[in-house]
Amino acid sequence: MSTFSLDQIHVQSIDAYYDPNSKTEIIEKSNFFKYKSQHFHCHIKLMINDDCITNQQYWTIGLVQACYKNYIEQCYNNYGSTLWEFHPIKTGRHQMINDSDGNQYPFYDIFHSNYVIHHGYITNKLIQLHYKDYFYPTIAWQLPYSHGNNNNVLLTEIIRRQQFSVWLLAIKHGRNYKLNSYNLINIEQDELYILNTIRWQYKLHIRLDPYQPIGKRLKHIDDTQYEKPIILDKNKKLPLSAINPPHCNAAQSLIWYPNNKNDQPKLIIPPKQIIVPWKQWLNDMTLNSNDEMKTPKQCQFVGELLHDKKIGIINSYRNDQKLSTDLGHLRSRSTG
């Protein structure tokens, strides 16, 4: 019986696509506006079709997603905008932001996007990995902070542009690997193999008339995804920031940027995790430090990767893969 190795992992199919059965859902309430975006799906099928033994070692196969470009703007009349921002990539301190639920770095989630191969015997095993990603934000009609002009500062436009990379990884863990550990990669001991690389992006543009009755404020929505997901012919290594904290939901902050140059930007929602000390974070984000800007209680310092190098062993053996991307339905809707 052979010893388990990378050669026993056969990628049978990769499907990366925008769900044609989903569309942008709009919810208008008296105090807020919500949208639920079209879904991005990633499905992987792998087969271990040789009888083998792992020789007391664990392997993990999984999907890692990271964001490398981010622009999310909510416009309020001509007064200014709020922006959701990721400090690590805005400042260039990190190349990417890990996009996971934060429960088991670096994989997208703890349930369906990774599979652990335990030590012992393996026979004819089909492995299926999958996840779906979508956006479901809640946005206030009236700006929480606007120098007392709340009644006039109303939501009129939303712009969202993001780009992501996805890696299918096979990790041969070192001898000291602990099953169910919080971070599943130890770069000093583990061997990280890159089996496939996918890129996808999402664009959304919404225009609103906040002076219309609730339920009739949507003027125009363009949620057409002109570029379908791409399965790269040549795999790319991934930066350390793609597999380490912070993750997107923890790193994001919401900041008000007024059009009036006499007014100062205002932090509305602070991040939950930061890579630099708080005062440095404020300085990087061009926010004035004062007594009211003390470190938030729920803000955790996770540290900066001073050398955000790219890692991974690129596997050039492509197997007999069925590769599929689907653009789904193209839509541009206008009302009113």
pLDDT in tens, the chain (336 residues): 788 899 999 999 999 999 999 999 999 999 999 999 999 999 999 999 778 888 878 899 999 999 999 999 999 999 999 999 999 999 999 999 999 998 888 999 988 999 998 877 887 789 999 999 999 999 999 986 655 555 678 999 999 999 999 999 999 998 777 766 666 788 889 999 999 999 999 999 999 999 999 999 999 999 999 999 999 999 999 999 999 999 999 999 999 999 998 999 999 999 999 999 999 999 999 987 664 678 888 899 999 999 999 999 998 655 555 666 654 433 333 333
- 311, part of any domain: yes
- 281, part of any domain: yes
- 11, part of any domain: yes
Look up the domain containing 54 and give its range. 2-325
The total number of structural domains in the chain stands at: 1
- 12, part of any domain: yes
- 336, part of any domain: no
- 330, part of any domain: no
pTM: 0.91
Q: Is the sign of the CA dihedral 277, 278, 284, 289 positive or negative? A: negative
- 210, part of any domain: yes
- 317, part of any domain: yes
